[in-house]
Structure 1
């Protein structure tokens, strides 16, 4: 081997030696391990850390608290998928002697869960026939096409659709419409969707795209109004159904929570919050009341810009074609379901359920009836061609229903069923083990504080918690405690529970707070900082509207001035000898 070759080999060896990373220190290895396995650590350490709770006080309420704290930690950290965490009571409640397997399983399939299932089937049928898109485009076509009017139409449509289908689906549906309108306006020179920001340290790098204020306003309106609209009906969001289940299991002798009263009580705050959102976004991003500002100038597109926006909406609406039998049938069943809910047992007249039977009928019956009809009624009336001798004129094969099982199987959020059931199991387990009564007794000194102050504290706490984890998860943790607090201080349970439930839905500041926030952040390239800044004001005005309206108008609906007799002895509460 020549000296020249030896020199080349030595250079290669030296280069490889220089490329070898130095060995990691113990601290660095620990950091890497924690980054990779922190969920597993929480999973294992949490129950071990709580063992002293069982050793020091091996009572039913201590064992129940052990289970609930584990679930709360797992829910907040999501070290296990949230639906799987929700199944823990099925194992630990029977093992710890808190509730039998049959009673615990009953929490996962009750009237509230069936309302959830039926409502989702109805919502998926609406999506399947594209009825929601026809409603959205029809309204936006009608309201006009200036930025202010388009934003108002977007807020209104998103709110309305979110009352009946999931907030996530409502937001996902509106995002493509927003993108199409803004893209066409940008193409014709009426404002940019994004601003390209070059990296001064790396000029060759692709510039970063940041949304303009106009883009932020449109995308944020879709996220905000879907969350607001979800509070309008019992089926609008899982948080409302969580409240219904926990309330009815904690106070089984109460009249319960029906669709009509919830709609009557929540509708005004939903409308006002949507209107305030429309105003706020215009002030914040469109330069409203600042006519000479750059924001106001960029938000003015003129008659030509309005014509372009209107053309986009018109083309999308025409692409839907004429209204089909599928859409008309789904819309009819949807309206029938609402009417059945409204007049099942209204307070102002005798309801249809009271006319036909003395047996108690709840809200799950109408929606399940409609859901079954949606599988039976065909989406194409091909049967009318049965007598036609020429099969080419329509009758070739039978039509599927308005919705089919494959759609339900693929799109139904089954995990949310488990999450709701886990919350109901926690509520019933707390009552059965007397944990609820112990918590209520410990909160009795709060009766010396003004109820309004307590209400503000619990609502702010719920709203802050929901920014970091699932709305339904927060409701499952906080509502049973709030229910027992109401009993302890002798105030109508709905006085606290309904505002807290609404507060759980109003997470506007972080992408993890709600799926709508995450969707618009990804679709509109909105930074977390921008979302936090934009969401601070909506959190304030929605809180004020909830408190003011519920303590005035809500009192008339639910008669909150007196502490009801059915709340004096809640299940597992006062009057239960096992807890004395």
Structure 2
């Protein structure tokens, strides 16, 4: 191989390329048949290979996610008719439809208008600016990916920092604290807001898909919102007081009064609320309303039977695709254009949808091959531990490894394992899946932990130490809040 081709792979890539197949071979040839049968051995070997490639990235993550579709049927681990449907799970359509609606919101700048108006309404004091950024970022990230939300809000936060500096509202150490606090608010509130809904964070949507295929349990948008929404709200309240009153507390006696000229200028550039934004907002509100209200409409006693049957068969994925399709029908104010055109779909993160399919195909293979039962036998050693202690260990483990690995890769690997863990300890696996999903989405310490962290770190105001010092306490708080929420609150909402 010539030097040019060698440069196409880093040392990390080469390690993964060799280690992945090696782990597959070791698993297949060195685990005895009486310990693990042929089919689960194949599935476990492919899982280790895929996991290695997800971590070392010798090929793009979405490409790695297609490997189970090739190797598992080829080696007769599970037939292709069993795992191929995982790539078209209804939850993938829910997430994809949500992506399309988010694209329309971004295309017509509706998200910026919402964010700027919230900040304008909250006020111009430093802590109020941070609160406004927090509310706007968290609210948008409930329905738009946390990465896109952070990238959208970052220029707003930087502009506020410049405004505060140029008008000498804050100076010296206070200005540094405000700058770091508002940037971390963007990163952390984008992450926390994404915990609240199924369409905003990859681990949440993956949980819904695996619960449907492995547990025959549909986790609806409304159920997750009523469970995770209060959890996210608690974390946001803690985040605000932690950043403004503890970690980056500004001396109010040195703060001068300022104006919101920057916000006014930005809103003026956007112009008046127009018909295109109105159409996008209408589709968005209809979609979210159907997600939240459809489970309750079914239970209304006097509702006509045809209406009840219609809403009973209305999956969250159907609702998301309905909203997405509507955007291609609606005309825009620009001549000959519509709210969305197919060319806009080049911005859709198709790779993330394949990542979903990869994780769900592995979960399907775990169940069909009998690997779940084998994992349960191994993990049976944990049965003597208390349930809440197991939850705590799971949250700590997942949150720790997600600080250095992709939360998508971690959730793809861990969520299928939690099914076996639930069987092993004799509990419903769904709470364990929820704990793992929420932990995978709650990383605050390192710039590489989440896309929002990476985005705000790129602004140049923060050091790794700043993020680590602020994030370590949020990690600890997250461990406690997630564990308690899953243990006490989740059974109330999900009724198990």
Q: 1:36 to 1:497 in 2, by over 3 A?
A: closer
Gap change, CA 1:190 and 1:420, over 3 Å in 2 = same
- 1:98-497 matches, within 5 Å, as 98-191=77-170, 212-252=176-216, 254=217, 256-287=218-249, 295-296=250-251, 300-303=254-257, 305=258, 307=259, 310-346=260-296, 349=300, 355-357=308-310, 360-380=313-333, 397-398=335-336, 400-409=337-346, 411-497=347-433
What secondary structure is seen at the aligned counterpart in 2 of 1:443?
Answer: helix
Q: What TM-score comes out, normalization by structure 1 length?
A: 0.79
Aligned equivalent of 2:74: 95
Greater Cα shift, 49-58 or 170-179: 49-58
SS in 1 for 2:295: coil
Report the Cα distance in structure 1 between the residues aligned to 2:248 and 2:451, rounded to whole angstroms. Answer: 26
CA apart distance, 1:98: 2.1
What's the TM-score, normalizing by structure 2?
A: 0.92
Which is worse superposed, 338-347 or 174-183?
A: 338-347
Alpha carbons of structure 1 residues 235 and 36: separation in structure 2 relative to 1, 3 Å: closer
User: Which residue number in structure 2 is paired with residue 37 of structure 1?
Assistant: 11
Given that 2:168 and 2:256 are in contact with CA atoms closer than 8 Å, whether structure 1 keeps it comes out as: no
| Structure-2 change in CA distance of 1:243 and 1:36 (3 Å) | closer
CA separation in 2, counterparts of 1:529 and 1:483?
37
1:359 CA displacement: 7.4
Comparing 105-114 and 256-265, the one that deviates more: 105-114
Contact kept in structure 2, 1:86 and 1:423, CA below 8 Å: yes
Structure 1, residues 1-44: CA drift from partner, whole Å, max 9, x if none?
A: xxxxxxxxxxxxxxxxxxxxxxxxxxxxxxx99x9534123202
Structure 1 pair 84–166 and aligned structure 2 pair: CA distance change class (3 A)? same
User: Counterparts of 2:97 and 2:206 in 1: how far apart (Å)?
Assistant: 15
Q: What do residues 420-475 of structure 1 show as CA deviations (whole Å, max 9, x unaligned)?
A: 11000100011111111100122123221100100000010000011111112111
The structure whose residues are more often helix, as a share, is: 2
Deviations 1:534-568 (A, max 9, x none): 111111112222222332222211123xxxxxxxx
Aligned residues: 483
Contact 2:142–2:193 under 8 Å retained in 1: yes
SS at match of 1:302: coil
Report whether the alignment pairs 1:54 with 2:54: no
Deviations 1:154-208 (A, max 9, x none): 111100000000101110111111111111221222335999xxxxxxxxxxxxx
Partners of 2:192 and 2:236 within 8 A in 1: yes
Partner of 2:3: none
* Contact in 2 for aligned 1:83/1:418 (Cα 8 Å): yes
Tell me the C-alpha RMSD between the 2 structures. 2.4
Measure the CA separation in 1 of the matches of 2:14 and 2:141.
36
Match of 2:463 among 527, 551, 559: 527
Greater Cα shift, 147-156 or 489-498 = 489-498
Q: Does 1:69 align with 2:48?
A: yes
In structure 2, the CA distance between the partners of 1:49 and 1:107, relative to structure 1 (3 Å rule), is closer
Match of 2:478 in 1: 542
Q: Which runs of 5+ in 1 are unaligned?
A: 1-31, 196-210, 288-294, 383-396, 561-580
The answer to whether the 8 A contact 1:162-1:170 is kept is yes
Q: Matched residues in 2 for 1:260 and 1:244: separation?
A: 12
Q: 1:514 and 2:450 equivalent?
A: yes
Superposition deviation, residue 533 in structure 1: 1.2
CA distance 1:353–1:541, change in 2 (3 Å): farther
Moved more, 83-92 or 358-367: 358-367
